[in-house]
Amino acid sequence: MEDWQMWLIMAVVLFIAEIFTPGFLLACLGVACLMAGLMAYLGLGLEVQIIAFSVSALAVFFGIRPLLKKHSYFSESKLKTNVAALVDKTGIVVEKIDPVQNKGRVVVGGENWKGVSIDGTMLKEGAKVTVVRVEGTKLLVKRLVDLNKT
């Protein structure tokens, strides 16, 4: 078996292994194996093959890998989950929010939460509100201004 064939087999094995691991590390090494295999196919010596492998592994690892990771994984800022997903959602006051009596309930996304007015105002039942912040089991809300009403 010739050198270029060995490099090609190693590249294929690394690409297959990359499917089962995150991070694009093995794919970088697979590309480097392809470059070294090309050098072997051109009839260049083992030293040139190793240099080609090393240089291309570093180039792919530091040049292309960050771009692949950036576009392949969701960052925290893109995908909100759990209570963080409630912020900026619209809800309806189902029990009058009264800051003096510390009472009030809001339904957001089908779930009933304790509601607190962010500016300390009383909000009537049926008022539309926007969630500003979540503190424990309380939603801090503000009145949603309805532009359709005159």
Give me the helices (H) in the chain, please: 3-19, 25-41, 46-59, 65-72
Fold of 82-143: OB fold (Dihydrolipoamide Acetyltransferase, E2P) (2.40.50)
pLDDT (tens digit per residue) in 12-54: 999 999 999 877 889 999 999 999 999 999 999 999 999 999 9
Q: How confident is the model at residue 85 (pLDDT cuts 50, 70, 90)?
A: confident
Max CA pair span of the chain: 86
pLDDT (tens digit per residue) in 88-100: 889 999 999 988 8
The ranges assigned to domains in the chain are 3-72, 82-143
C-alpha to C-alpha distance for 40 and 128, rounded to whole angstroms? 70
HSE-CB at 46 with a 13 A cutoff on CA atoms is 3
Say how many C-beta atoms besides its own lie within 10 A of residue 32's C-beta. 24
* Cα distances (Å, whole numbers) of residue 69 to 17, 110, 117: 17, 36, 41
What value, to the nearest 5°, has the Cα angle with vertex 98 and ends 86 and 88? 15
Nearest Cα neighbor of 97 from 137, 126, 132 is 126
Query: Which distant-in-sequence residues (6+ apart) come within 8 Å of 12 by Cβ?
Result: 30
